[in-house]
Amino acid sequence: MAMVKRFGAVVGAAIVVAAIAVVAQDTGGVRSHPNPCPPGQTEVRVGRCQAPEFPPPSIVDYRPKSTLVTGVHPVPKAKFPVVDIHSHTGPTPNSVERLLKEMDALNIRVLNNLSGGNGDSLKQRVEYIRTAKLTDRFTVFANGLSGFNGVEPGYGAKAAAQLEQDVKSGAIGLKLFKQTGMRTLKKDGKRLQIDDPELDPVWEAAARLNIPVIIHTAEPQEFFEQPTVTNERWLELALFRDRRNYDPGQVKFETLMTERNNLYQKHPKTRFIAAHFAWHANDLAKAGKLLDACPNVVLEVGAILYDLGRQPRAAHDFFVKYQDRVLFGKDSYEPDEFPFYWRVFETKDEYFDYYRDYHAFWKLYGMDLPDGVLKKLYHQNALRVTPGLPKTGWPQ
Ligand SMILES: [Zn+2]
């Protein structure tokens, strides 16, 4: 019995060594981690797998508490006034008092509502902001004509006219939701590609009207992959059906990136804000390439903090190098969550929790950005890219 076991271990070790040799070629000698053991076991020594003696908790229930004792510097209020360029929240008579109080506590000066709608609904939103004398705190982007559904010949010109009217009504930018380019269908039943020439008049109108266009293209890369045990977004995919984009026949991540980049390059006079860091926060070299190739593009940091906070040194260097190309945005308005952003950007704290377990199975670290970069990230870049934002009252 012992002989058989040892023989098995030797064969196992040989396989592992072969696997390591291959990996070493790919990663410059750094052994990548994939645990070579069968399910239910973990590698305790090279080539030796072992099962825990207690039934393991599921990943939903395993919540190890760190014993690390290190500096803790919470940042409840951002160091400089902030424009949240990627919000979906605007004031109503019922919410405005609470919103202003929360925004003041966080140092958010402007909340930019990307869900402005179009036509009359947009007009009403702007009207309320104007009558309540809140134009220096709340702004809205328009959403185009009919959500870009059913595009057919002639649609682009109509959508451009709608945008022109919405800007006259007070919209300061155009936002396209993630369905556009990914799932939205044209009248002929085909998927609408974001670089479809029928939409050209819209981008040209945005340039002429001097407003930015923010497009949410695609989803995190891992949402396009099967939810296997090596998928770092497994839990999120298992929780939310509408984030699964891996079925055969669904459009691929790379296809969406290519179509989006075509659009950016085809319209150099239109300013584009790539929502969610263009989904390249996990590959900053790729993000840098995009910015180098497209001077008309800036990145926004909504919902990708977990990627910046797990590579604080690379992220710091990126933000210093591209300090004119990054905008603050949060996406979901949750007052309790903003301070996680301030802490990552402003401190050099180490190994602290992110606010959502299912987003990230790892800890965050502070990027320790210099004041000049923070000011650009928090408001100066947004003011340059979005001329409709309040112009006065900013620190010099
Ligand atoms: Zn959003």
pLDDT for residue 331: 97
Same domain? For 200 and 294 the reply is yes
Q: pLDDT tens, 31-64?
A: 556 778 999 999 999 999 999 999 999 999 998 9
3-class DSSP state of 326? strand
Cα–Cα distances in Å, from 67 out to 24, 64, 136, 347, 351? 33, 9, 45, 20, 11
In a domain, 309, yes or no: yes
Same domain? For 142 and 261 the reply is yes
The mean pLDDT of 124-145, rounded to a whole number, is 97
In a domain, 265, yes or no: yes
What integer best gives the mean pLDDT of the chain?
92
Q: pLDDT tens, 69-89?
A: 999 999 999 999 999 999 999
Given pLDDT bands bounded at 50, 70 and 90, which one contains residue 146?
A: confident
In a domain, 128, yes or no: yes
Residue 8 has pLDDT above 90, yes or no: no
In a domain, 75, yes or no: no
Q: pLDDT tens, 293-324?
A: 999 999 999 999 999 999 999 999 999 999 99
Answer with the one of 10, 26, 50 that is the final residue of a domain. 50
Same domain? For 26 and 155 the reply is no
Same domain? For 260 and 331 the reply is yes
User: How many angstroms does the Cα of residue 87 sit away from the middle of ligand 1?
Assistant: 6
In a domain, 44, yes or no: yes
User: How many angstroms does the Cα of residue 68 sit away from the middle of ligand 1?
Assistant: 35
Q: Name the token pair of 5.
A: 């076991």
pLDDT for residue 19: 39
User: How many angstroms does the Cα of residue 115 sit away from the middle of ligand 1?
Assistant: 8
Same domain? For 242 and 304 the reply is yes
User: How many angstroms does the Cα of residue 332 sit away from the middle of ligand 1?
Assistant: 7
User: How many angstroms does the Cα of residue 116 sit away from the middle of ligand 1?
Assistant: 12
Same domain? For 127 and 269 the reply is yes
108: CATH: 3.20.20.140
User: How many angstroms does the Cα of residue 272 sit away from the middle of ligand 1?
Assistant: 15
3-class DSSP state of 86? strand
Looking at the DSSP bridge assignments, the partners of residue 111 are: 84, 138
User: How many angstroms does the Cα of residue 215 sit away from the middle of ligand 1?
Assistant: 9
Same domain? For 28 and 123 the reply is no
Pair 113, 89: CB distance under 8 Å: yes
Given pLDDT bands bounded at 50, 70 and 90, which one contains residue 1?
A: very low
In a domain, 390, yes or no: no
User: How many angstroms does the Cα of residue 276 sit away from the middle of ligand 1?
Assistant: 8
User: How many angstroms does the Cα of residue 389 sit away from the middle of ligand 1?
Assistant: 19
User: How many angstroms does the Cα of residue 331 sit away from the middle of ligand 1?
Assistant: 5
User: How many angstroms does the Cα of residue 147 sit away from the middle of ligand 1?
Assistant: 14
- Count of helix runs (H) and strand runs (E) in the chain: 13, 10
Q: pLDDT tens, 157-201?
A: 999 999 999 999 999 999 999 888 899 999 999 999 999 999 999
Q: pLDDT tens, 198-209?
A: 999 999 999 999
Same domain? For 179 and 310 the reply is yes
Dihedral sign computed on CA atoms, order 248, 254, 259, 264: positive
Same domain? For 287 and 189 the reply is yes
Same domain? For 195 and 327 the reply is yes
Give me the DSSP letters along 268-318. Answer: TTS-EEEGGGGG-TT-HHHHHHHHHH-TTEEEE-TT-HHHHTTSHHHHHHH
User: How many angstroms does the Cα of residue 15 sit away from the middle of ligand 1?
Assistant: 46
Same domain? For 33 and 137 the reply is no
User: How many angstroms does the Cα of residue 54 sit away from the middle of ligand 1?
Assistant: 43
In a domain, 67, yes or no: no
* Domain coverage including residue 174: 82-385
Number of domains the chain is built from: 2
Please give the helix or strand (H or E) that residue 109 lies within, else none: strand 108-113
User: How many angstroms does the Cα of residue 22 sit away from the middle of ligand 1?
Assistant: 41
The mean pLDDT of 275-294, rounded to a whole number, is 98
Same domain? For 20 and 90 the reply is no
Pair 83, 383: CB distance under 8 Å: yes
Q: Name the token pair of 366.
A: 């502070």
In a domain, 297, yes or no: yes
pLDDT for residue 20: 38
